[in-house]
Amino acid sequence: MQQHQVALLGTGLIGDFYAMTLHAQRSRDRVRVVYSRSRERGQAFRERWDIPESTTDMRAAIEHPDVDVVVVGVPNFMHAQAIEMVAAASKAVLCTKPLGRNAEEARAMLGAVEKAGVFAGYLEDLVYTPKTIKALKAARGGAIGEITWVRSRETHPGPHSAWFWDGRLTGGGAIVDLGCHCIEIIRSYIGKGVRPVEVMCHADTLVHPIADEDNAVALIRFENGALGQFEVSWTFRGGMDLRDEVAGTHGTIWVNNFLRTGFEMFTAGASTGYVAEKAESEKGWLFPVGDEVVELGYVDMFSDMFRAMESGTPPRETFYDGYVVNAVMDACYRSAKSDAWEPVELFEWRGEKAPRIGAGREPEMYEGMVVIKREILPDGRQRLILKDPHSGDFVDRLVNPAAEAGEPLPVSR
């Protein structure tokens, strides 16, 4: 493994998570210089993470002679400028979510890094949580069959920093902030080679006196017939809720990544201090997180990025993935205005032509009838729901598998 010297752009909460992970995960990669818009914040951040230099000059941080990787953790409205500078400096770049404020901006950033021929990774941490990685491995191994529906939910009481609340700087509200996570989780389960076709979205501003949405629900239809569903909110009280549900033709997966994961504590005594990201209380029932950078996916995310960088292969999350996510979010905003299904507009589709779910699958037959469903009864018999392929009529049939196999029927007590 190589040792990488990093220029970290940004000193907000995400910067803390990134620095914590970079300095701990392999004990070799180091932040060499940190950029902040505030001299005071930059100095404090430098001291907190034992970083040699801090600066308020973004170009100087990017072009630092000792730096080979630039991590972009500045606010959304600064991503395009930062990526343009990094591409011009011919350095590897890792950019936090969302890639752009809209698909047009994301496409420009994708074009910049591809033209420069530099390594570019999209830092979508929630597809790298330990539970998600294990669930994805099971799903891709066929454990739950063909994926038909994925639901992803991220809700909390709202962002930490003032700029997050200004849609002119971010590109939107809860959809841009949280929906980008959910969309990429959904794509990861359904298959990133399966094209998202159209979106139906409802968004509203229910609680906060802001111009952008603080709640939204969306449906995403994929080319193969699979359906994605996401729910996002800046008004959920009680912490940060990160949950996913996956339905397949042969099974189901439920994942709770953060809020209720088995670590619960009640306190009426001394303050415990920091509990977890977006936690709203230090007393009463608390839901601490053992190791946030691990549980939120940062460790596996950076491991994947550096491993790909060193092997000359693409990371799991690329700038093209970030662009597709932006295109889906653009369709969400159009749908929320039109109250109708809106197409996902992509300048280029780099995936496959996905066959419809079930294509080529022969139905199960029983005595010339199509088996719709099997159900085990308390006495061991099975109820079959059958369809006559000629008339189209549906019938029930009770069968005794044991008797058909020459075995006695179990005695019910």
90-134 per-position pLDDT tens digit: 999 999 999 999 999 999 999 999 999 999 999 999 999 999 999
3 state DSSP class of 222? strand
Terminal alpha carbon distance of the chain = 65
Q: What angle do CA 127, 140, 303 make, to 5 degrees?
A: 40
Which parts of the chain register pLDDT below 50? 409-413
pLDDT given for residue 242 in this prediction: 93
Among 321, 346, 294, smallest CA distance to 123 is for: 321
- CA–CA separation, 128 and 134 (whole Å): 9
What's the confidence (pLDDT) of residue 249? 95
Task: Give residue 261's pLDDT.
Answer: 76
What domains appear along the chain, each with residue ranges and CATH number? 5-125 (3.40.50.720), 127-297+314-343 (3.30.360.10), 365-404 (no CATH)
pLDDT of residue 269: 79
Q: Copy the structure tokens of residue 21.
A: 């992970």
Integer Cα distance of 231 and 187 in angstroms: 15
Cα separation, 195 vs 353, in Å, equals 8
Question: Do the beta carbons of residue 232 and residue 174 sit within 8 Å?
Answer: yes
Q: How far is CA 352 from CA 322, 343, 346, 348, in A?
A: 18, 18, 14, 12
Q: Which two tokens stand for residue 275?
A: 């509990």
Q: Please state, in angstroms and rounded to a whole number, the distance separating the CA atoms of residues 93 and 158.
A: 28
341: left (phi over 0), alpha (psi -120 to 50) or beta: beta
Residue type, 391: S
Those residues whose C-beta lies under 8 Å from the C-beta of residue 316, and which sit 6 or more positions away, are 127, 128, 304, 308
Q: What is the pLDDT of residue 411?
A: 43
Cβ–Cβ < 8 Å for 350, 187 = no
